[in-house]
Amino acid sequence: MSKLTESKEWKALQAHQKDIARIPVRKLFEDDPQRFQRFSCRFNDILFDYSKNHIDQTTIDLLVQLADANGLREQTLAMYRGEPINNTENRSVLHIALRNRSNRPIKLNGKDVMHEVNLQLSKMQHFSDKVRSGEWVGYSGKKITNVVNIGIGGSDLGPKMVRHALKPYTRPDIRCHFVSNMDPTDIMNTISGLNPETTLFLVASKSFTTPETLTNAETAKEWLLKTAQDRRAVCKHFVAMSTNYDAVKQFGIDPENMFEFWDWVGGRYSLWSAVGLSIAVGLGMYRFEELLQGAYEVDEHFRDTPFEQNIPALMGLLGIWNNNFFHSHGHAVMPYDQNLDIFPRFLQQLDMESNGKYVDRDGNPVDYATGPIIWGEAGTNGQHAFFQLLHQGTQLAPCDFMVAAVNHNEVHSRHEKLLANFLAQPEAMMRGKNREQVIEELHASGLKNPSETLIQSKIFPGNRPNSMFIYDKLTAKTLGSLIAFYEHKVFTQGIIWNINSFDQMGVELGKQLANAILPELSSDNVNNQHDSSTQSLINEIVDRRNTLM
Ligand code: F6P
């Protein structure tokens, strides 16, 4: 047994779960008229309501004791101080420095990192202003009309999600595209409609060794040079955001056009760094700074607020309650906000790459569940797809719902219809529908003798936990705060589960095997190290390609 599951705090939660599981959440609401006030918090324009989780005050008290006993506060301070909490890679984790709007010094090996952070921010300001004003021109003197971000994982999902979420603030005359996939169709679909003379490529890669990104960047370079016919054009059409100066230079990008960040910025936390250049170009640097401000204020809140009112800490603790004590499967994120439709995908990387670990910080296998499977869908679309399982399935999956009080597109009363759905689904999940209600409804509809099968199929068990966010309107600042809530939620859970949330060793094996297989697809180079399935599939693909191409 691990120290965690043996701890008195863990055991107290297990015992408490048995008691509270017997009381329907509906009843907890009936018994406590103050339940909403008790289990909700406000942060700027954001309201976080977690009262529909299967909790009472004892649950929160015990979860806070669990956080205290596992050093959540001390570890938070250690992260903020720049200690190398990424222990397998011996690295600091300092995305909070990227949005440290107070400019308070953050020292790493005796050097204040804020100096370099501010230098890159002003370089981003300068560059994005030049592109937006038309001062930056392509090789033939024309201004830039299309920006293509080439990157994958954190070098794609973060900026793509933000650009998409803040679409109402973008300029229509500079269109932004994102290419990530190794599938050549991704880049070909993107560039086929573009003019090389007016297209700017932003190549985002922390390592600058990621095959998808380098392959796509090479294709883009060939495409440009086919028209430009002059290698000097590259410096007008390619910039890089990376930590790897040599590799950027070797690729042929002018180091003058390189925006730096550092090994203490994890890929999935990098949108706040130069990786966010496409955001600054599309929205203007002042909006990028609003995004940073929203995250910065959450960083302060997370560091200083008691856990009982600390939104990211509560999100993390509730996740642990549902995951480890109610044995839920997965976690759904449902933005009732079309512009946030990429948000669940962004959170998949943030959460699953961080906390999808089976060994603890000392390398011992854990005996408790760690990160859940994250998925989600914007608006009411999910209701017509997978909500059936959420309401009546045998697997418990907690959900986060989020909505703006005011839509960027207030068309007649359409937003009210969306809001009604946003409010109804969590209520249905929590409340459910019992046998008496079903029979009454069937009678009212004229069905006097409904079959038992029909009655049973219409019963909703209820007690499906969910949390809700409401904000005024999706602005850059609000979005910055929402993202930071989830970042610190993931951190909270990683600390309690005693795992390293900041490496991603699980992505390595597949990469290694792909490197070994690649030569076998284009030659008779048989490796014989594969299992019979993989070997037969290699043969099958080679045969088919030889016949078809
Ligand atoms: O392979 C996973 C990963 O390393 C992610 O963590 C990262 O965001 C992505 O690949 C891209 O890496 P890079 O920015 O170095 O190209």
As a three-state string, the secondary structure of 220-275 is HHHHHHHHHCCHHHHHHHEEEEECCHHHHHHHCCCHHHEEECCCCCCHHHHHHCHH
Determine the distance separating the centroid of ligand 1 and the alpha carbon of 143, expressed in angstroms: 31
Determine the distance separating the centroid of ligand 1 and the alpha carbon of 148, expressed in angstroms: 18
Determine the distance separating the centroid of ligand 1 and the alpha carbon of 420, expressed in angstroms: 39
Within 273-379, where are the H helices?
277-283, 285-304, 311-320, 343-347, 354-355
**Is 384 considered catalytic here?**
yes
Asked whether 500 and 490 are in contact (CB, 8 A), the reply is no
Distance CA 160, CA 485 (A): 19
Distance CA 206, CA 247 (A): 11
Q: Which of 93, 152, 270, 278 to mutate to test the pocket of ligand 1 (most atoms within 8 A of CB)?
A: 152
155 in ligand 1 pocket by Cβ < 6 Å?
yes
**Is 511 considered catalytic here?**
yes
pLDDT of residue 159: 98
pLDDT of residue 269: 98
pLDDT of residue 412: 83
pLDDT of residue 526: 73
CB neighbour list of residue 113: distance below 8 Å, 6 or more residues apart = 82, 94, 97, 106, 107, 262, 264
Q: Which residue, by CA, sits nearest to atom 6 of ligand 1? A: 267
Token pair 């408490």 is found at: 16
206 in ligand 1 pocket by Cβ < 6 Å?
yes
> What are the CA-CA distances from residue 233 to residues 131, 139, 156, 188, 224 (Å)?
16, 5, 25, 20, 8
Q: Which of 502, 507, 513 to mutate to test the pocket of ligand 1 (most atoms within 8 A of CB)?
A: 507
Q: Catalytic: which of 353, 377, 487, 520?
A: 353
Asked whether 334 and 377 are in contact (CB, 8 A), the reply is yes
pLDDT of residue 500: 98
pLDDT of residue 361: 97
Determine the distance separating the centroid of ligand 1 and the alpha carbon of 411, expressed in angstroms: 40
pLDDT of residue 524: 72
pLDDT of residue 379: 87
154 in ligand 1 pocket by Cβ < 6 Å?
yes
Determine the distance separating the centroid of ligand 1 and the alpha carbon of 146, expressed in angstroms: 24
Distance CA 342, CA 418 (A): 18
pLDDT of residue 230: 94
Determine the distance separating the centroid of ligand 1 and the alpha carbon of 323, expressed in angstroms: 27
Asked whether 49 and 36 are in contact (CB, 8 A), the reply is yes
Q: Which two tokens stand for residue 396?
A: 């418990």
pTM to 2 decimals? 0.97
Q: Which of 86, 241, 504, 505 to mutate to test the pocket of ligand 1 (most atoms within 8 A of CB)?
A: 504
The 10 Å Cβ neighbour count of residue 359 is 15
The beta-strand segments (E) located in 124-226 are: 146-150, 175-179, 199-204
- State which amino acid sits at residue 103: N
Determine the distance separating the centroid of ligand 1 and the alpha carbon of 152, expressed in angstroms: 6
Radius of gyration (C-alpha) of the chain in whole angstroms:
26
Token pair 């205290």 is found at: 68
Q: What are the residue ranges in the chain where pLDDT is below 50?
A: none
pLDDT of residue 525: 72
- State which amino acid sits at residue 282: G
Q: Which residue, by CA, sits nearest to atom 16 of ligand 1? A: 205
Task: Pick the atom of ligand 1 nearest to 212's CA.
Answer: 16
Token pair 């004003």 is found at: 133
The phi, psi pair for 315, rounded to 5°, reads: -60, -45
205 in ligand 1 pocket by Cβ < 6 Å?
yes
Q: Catalytic: which of 18, 384, 412, 448?
A: 384
398 in ligand 1 pocket by Cβ < 6 Å?
no
pLDDT of residue 9: 98
Determine the distance separating the centroid of ligand 1 and the alpha carbon of 267, expressed in angstroms: 6
* Helix then strand then coil, % of the chain, to nearest 5: 55, 10, 30
Task: Pick the atom of ligand 1 nearest to 268's CA.
Answer: 8
CB neighbour list of residue 412: distance below 8 Å, 6 or more residues apart = none
Distance CA 430, CA 249 (A): 56
Q: Which residue, by CA, sits nearest to atom 2 of ligand 1? A: 507
Distance CA 203, CA 211 (A): 12
Determine the distance separating the centroid of ligand 1 and the alpha carbon of 288, expressed in angstroms: 22
pLDDT of residue 466: 97
Q: Which two tokens stand for residue 454?
A: 């029909």
Q: Which of 93, 206, 241, 268 to mutate to test the pocket of ligand 1 (most atoms within 8 A of CB)?
A: 206
Q: Which residue, by CA, sits nearest to atom 9 of ligand 1? A: 153
51 in ligand 1 pocket by Cβ < 6 Å?
no
Q: Report the Cα 92 to chain-centroid distance in Å.
A: 20
Task: Pick the atom of ligand 1 nearest to 353's CA.
Answer: 6
Asked whether 51 and 35 are in contact (CB, 8 A), the reply is yes
